[in-house]
Structure 1
């Protein structure tokens, strides 16, 4: 007598009640191939309302539904999971696209496996298809795929099992010039993704450990030689249930080119500034502290570079006229250009230098600065003063020189800094007479005698003439006239004395 308890028999009703509420779809078939039961999940997965809409058996199910592999290849008769199960095959997680035969544009995705349920022993009692609806997941992956391919930001996806790239988008191909065939199936090492990266070993270690790869700069080799500067980051993801790494890139090559161009421009400016024969310096705008000065500036001022940098013109007492310096600085604060302003520089050794100062605001390294350019006109001013004195000496006694020599000496002053305030045509007849006599070297007394005027009247006319043409000395008046082609031809009538006329008449 066997005392072992008899194993419990499976109650089909209890079994159906148990699996009816599962999220996985369950379809039960008898050995003849009839669909005898399906839970609500299986019916909903087929977008149906009742079990009858699945078809009564395997043949009817195949008529009502079209199944395709994920590569869009349709399943032929005998390949449907329900038919393979009836043929005695075991089905392990086959992923298929399912559509109603009446509407092939409507697609959902099922993963199918099989199960055989027996009451006692090995004899099959119930055949079961277990369905899992993968539609939301595959729709999400399709959306990711479309987004990945359409994204202008460069991207790569490699399979972590062998570190081979399985996806590349147009952004990466456009950035590097690679073709899709150059990348797909190649390993991370073969493409050289981290071969020119200071932290490349760390990135490859994190890749092998399937960890996040933080942003880092790298030089990606290009197919035709050269490289491209990028920022690359890696994020572990799953693509069709395969562990992968998504690499994203930010192109820094434009920034690198801009930086190189800026550096070259700065080098050219630095060389030009340093080697310029014209004195120049750079100061900050906010406090006018000098930050740079070239050799010509140091030579003119007599200071060393260390004595100029980090100090202001006020601290150096660089300019003789403090009020004029402050006026120039205010103009620059108001963003007004300074052009050829006359200032006298006080040199370190106690000497002075007459300068024409120009200055303009510029931005250097994101800071507002001022470039100062000087023209040392000390020698020119001294030469002009000496020339004027020489002309005045000549004018004081023309008996020593011929008229042509006087004219030549006056013409040498073509570069005079006097600013005329009138034209020759604006002078009155009397003023033209006075100017003509000045040009031929007549003194006040001689002019008074020639024009039959008093000396005071002559002096008043001369003063008025000087004010009108913007000069303050005879030599400058001669130069003003010569520049306008006025030679001061002798007035023959004025040269004849009245008493001479009487004598002639009496005779």
Structure 2
């Protein structure tokens, strides 16, 4: 039979009990066997947002009217399920978590974790008072709610496993989107059933750290997909606590787009390499910095006579491929100014010490992570020889032709030098100093004489001459003079301007 309840109301024991529990951080609510509320400590009052016992209600029924309770899953508690009702009935229970709302509120203000305690009389063991012990866990659950919201909203794929049994207890939408799993396919399965470390290079370290509940460093892995196949990811683990249970948070970065991009780049470079090697046009690839060659094709080797092993790692200048220093200086100066070459005429020296007239062009390209320069050469030696033979034949026939018209002479000059339309430059493309140097060339002066006339050093004159050659697309003084006269420019209209002494 149930022991009859004996009230503690107005007893010395009650006063002593109140003195003992008054200063506790936990809330304590004493309930008389007749279901009236005897006393509440300040912590219990504060956990209900009131200052007096009367505000909690005189009885258990009053308490139910003033406060609405529901479980964390939003289900309302029936009258018999209220912790205060169960305490009053003498039921022993522990750690019931409920959300508490004051009457009239739509949303809970507090989260209480409640347990019961029955105080019996020493003589006959009959219950004389029942106690409801309350802990305010609002902050803890608010923090968990914030974590839950941020975890679910975070686009970075993530799952959480419980360390006790290695089972997944949470998964966010980012992980489901990345893998194609459904939520119920992940939850309650273990980290070995959905192997997050598959194919990882440091899988033994990962398993060791997981067993110890320690941080798992980032590592690449092949995450198995539900439809078959794998996805390349970076996975890392961070120990966390959830609901007082040790867990491991796994986060992922999807490397599949990078792998596809690398594969596409590799295929693109392979196609370029095949095209480069099979191209009938002599081509070379060099570094932008220093002009060192890193690759040449078969047509380049056939043109110059050099084997690829003799060329790679050296510059065109070091190989002696430029026929003279003026050509080398002018071309390297343009490249150093980040100016690509477009159809520049230059004479190359071959391995057997022959010379070839070429049109040279360059184009900046990127191979892998490196900035490179693509060189292309067009052999015009035969064309130049045919043109010069024609000019020489005409000049031989017309050797004594002072009566020859100026228009015919201009046409002969244009055969020796390209027209402005051929190279897209005219006299206006030259600087004032370069026009003065060209005027002296037209007068037949050599570099030393030009230096004395202009009051500059021989090196300065040579640099100007090299730049003139590069701009107008010639490589000889006679060709430069012919180019100038074909455009109505000669040295008679230019008086030399001497540099001022410092």
Fold agreement, TM-score > 0.5: yes
Partner of 1:86: 88
Note closer, same or farther for the CA distance 1:64–1:116 as it changes in structure 2 (3 Å cut).
same
Q: Deviations over 1:245-268 (max 9, x none)?
A: 211111211111111111112222
Partner of 1:126: 129
Counting only pairs closer than 5 Å after superposition, residues 343-422 of structure 1 correspond to structure 2 as: 343-385=346-388
**In 1, Cα distance between equivalents of 2:32 and 2:415:** 129
What is the number of equivalent residue pairs in this alignment? 405
Q: Structure 1 stretches (4+) deviating beyond 6 angstroms?
A: none
Partner of 1:40: 42
Partner of 1:113: 115
Q: Deviations over 1:180-207 (max 9, x none)?
A: 2322232222223222322234323322
Partner of 2:423: none
**In 2, Cα distance between equivalents of 1:471 and 1:65:** 106
Asked whether the 8 Å contact 1:332–1:361 carries over to 2, the reply is no
Asked whether the 8 Å contact 1:332–1:360 carries over to 2, the reply is no
Q: Secondary structure at the match of 1:188?
A: coil
Partner of 2:427: none
Shift of 1:169: 1.4
Q: Deviations over 1:49-100 (max 9, x none)?
A: 2111111121211121122122222221222222222222111111111112
Shift of 1:156: 1.2
Partner of 1:196: 199
Q: Deviations over 1:357-390 (max 9, x none)?
A: 111223334433321111123344445555667x
Counting only pairs closer than 5 Å after superposition, residues 171-186 of structure 1 correspond to structure 2 as: 171-186=174-189
Counting only pairs closer than 5 Å after superposition, residues 4-43 of structure 1 correspond to structure 2 as: 11-43=13-45
Q: Secondary structure at the match of 2:342?
A: strand
**In 1, Cα distance between equivalents of 2:366 and 2:336:** 13
**In 1, Cα distance between equivalents of 2:324 and 2:41:** 102
**In 2, Cα distance between equivalents of 1:275 and 1:198:** 40
**In 2, Cα distance between equivalents of 1:56 and 1:131:** 18
Partner of 1:308: 311
Partner of 1:484: none
2:405 is the counterpart of 1:465 = no
Which of 244, 250, 253 is equivalent to 1:250?
253
Partner of 1:421: none
Partner of 2:190: 187
2:166 is the counterpart of 1:223 = no
Note closer, same or farther for the CA distance 1:347–1:10 as it changes in structure 2 (3 Å cut).
farther
Q: Secondary structure at the match of 2:192?
A: helix
Asked whether the 8 Å contact 1:344–1:352 carries over to 2, the reply is yes
**In 2, Cα distance between equivalents of 1:469 and 1:313:** 34
Partner of 1:500: none
Q: Deviations over 1:454-492 (max 9, x none)?
A: x7xx5243355212564469xxxxxxxxxxxxxxxxxxx
Partner of 1:144: 147
Shift of 1:109: 0.8
**In 2, Cα distance between equivalents of 1:10 and 1:296:** 112
Asked whether the 8 Å contact 1:28–1:127 carries over to 2, the reply is yes
Partner of 1:278: 281
Partner of 2:265: 262
**In 2, Cα distance between equivalents of 1:210 and 1:155:** 17
Which of 184, 193, 212 is equivalent to 1:209?
212
**In 2, Cα distance between equivalents of 1:11 and 1:358:** 106
Asked whether the 8 Å contact 1:466–1:472 carries over to 2, the reply is no
**In 1, Cα distance between equivalents of 2:206 and 2:241:** 19
Structure with higher Rg: it is 1
Normalised by the length of structure 1, the TM-score is: 0.74
Note closer, same or farther for the CA distance 1:225–1:472 as it changes in structure 2 (3 Å cut).
closer
Between the two structures, name the one with larger relative contact order (CA 8 Å, sep ≥ 6): 2
Q: Secondary structure at the match of 1:171?
A: helix
Structure 1 residues not aligned, in runs of 5+: 1-8, 397-442, 445-454, 474-507
Structure 2 residues not aligned, in runs of 5+: 1-10, 417-502
Partner of 1:161: 164
**In 1, Cα distance between equivalents of 2:350 and 2:229:** 54
Asked whether the 8 Å contact 2:387–2:415 carries over to 1, the reply is no
Normalised by the length of structure 2, the TM-score is: 0.75
Note closer, same or farther for the CA distance 1:117–1:64 as it changes in structure 2 (3 Å cut).
same
Which of 340, 343, 346 is equivalent to 1:340?
343
Name which of structure 1's ranges 359-368 and 314-323 shifts more when overlaid on structure 2.
359-368
Asked whether the 8 Å contact 2:286–2:294 carries over to 1, the reply is yes
Asked whether the 8 Å contact 2:176–2:183 carries over to 1, the reply is yes
**In 1, Cα distance between equivalents of 2:339 and 2:226:** 53
**In 2, Cα distance between equivalents of 1:44 and 1:75:** 22
